[in-house]
Amino acid sequence: MMLTLSDKILIGVFLLLSGLSFLALAVFRGAGQTVVVEQDGKVMARRSIAVEDTLRIEGPLGVTTIQIAGGRARVLDAPCPQQLCVKTGAISNAGAMVVCVPNRVVVRVEGHSKDGVDAVTR
């Protein structure tokens, strides 16, 4: 199956729009200010993202180790079997989060986003 000139132009336009949408997300997303760590729905720690710290949060499976460094937060070690929270990597933008479901630990970044309102319902 051969692509016509129109097909190639249409594909190019879609690729350009996709690239621009990723760029817009990066520009309009605000930097986080605070890291909040919750275990089983309870806030266990609240730290400035600018201050380096290592937190150890006890959960039903064991201890989850969280590192805050370089304006980013990440799960260093967790007792969960698949290690998805560790593989998620570092987060720094307001609204970003890492969740360890088996150990019931949530690490999220709070702050002000540049675009203001997130959602409005009626």
Q: Quick one: pLDDT at residue 1? A: 77
Average pLDDT across the chain, whole number: 88
Q: Domain check: are 9 and 55 in the same one? A: no
**What Cα–Cα distance (Å) separates residue 101 from each residue in 42, 47, 84, 85?**
14, 22, 9, 9
Does residue 11 lie in a domain region?
yes
117 band by pLDDT with thresholds 50, 70 and 90: low
One-character DSSP codes across 96-110: -EEEETTTTEEEEEE
Does residue 57 lie in a domain region?
yes
Q: Quick one: pLDDT at residue 39? A: 95
- Considering the entire predicted model, what is its pTM? 0.69
Q: Which of 22-26, 50-54, 108-112 is most confident? A: 50-54
What pLDDT digit, counting tens, does each position of 78-97 carry? 999 999 999 999 999 888 99
Q: Domain check: are 38 and 98 in the same one? A: yes
Residue 80 belongs to domain with CATH number? 2.60.320.10
